[in-house]
């Protein structure tokens, strides 16, 4: 589980990492590591962050679960791959 858009949500609120830490109960150091993709959050941590932003967990993780675009989908046809 990743939160690739964590920094985006934080900046949209006009919050510093410290402010997000205060609002979520997640340490500023951990938030920094999440934003730098050095760590991956547990479900509990991700939920705390989503709650602090006032959004759902699904919204926070949206990029991770977005369906691929048609051109990115590969189809196996007689042993060969082609874009659909």
Q: Give the separation between CA 12 and CA 81, rounded to whole angstroms.
A: 40
Indicate the class that CATH gives domain 3-61: mainly alpha
Name the token pair of 50: 């989503």
- Give percent helix, percent strand, percent coil of the chain, each to the nearest 5: 55, 10, 35
Condensed to tens digits (0 to 9), the pLDDT of residues 9-64 reads: 999 999 999 999 999 999 999 999 999 999 999 999 999 999 999 999 988 887 64
In this prediction, residue 83 carries a pLDDT of 45
Q: Which residues of 50-70 are buried (b: 16+ CB within 10 A; e: fewer)?
A: bebbeeebeebbeeeeeeeee
Quick one: pLDDT at residue 68? 42
Extents of the domains making up the chain? 3-61
State residue 3's pLDDT score: 79
């Amino acid at each position: 589980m990743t939160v690739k858009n964590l920094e985006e949500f934080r900046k949209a609120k006009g919050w510093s990492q410290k402010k997000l830490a205060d609002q979520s109960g997640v340490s500023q150091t951990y938030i920094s590591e999440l934003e730098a993709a050095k760590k991956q959050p547990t479900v509990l941590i991700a939920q705390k962050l989503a709650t602090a932003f006032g959004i759902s967990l699904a919204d926070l993780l949206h990029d991770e679960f977005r369906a691929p675009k048609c051109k990115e989908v590969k189809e196996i046809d007689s042993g060969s791959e082609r874009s659909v």
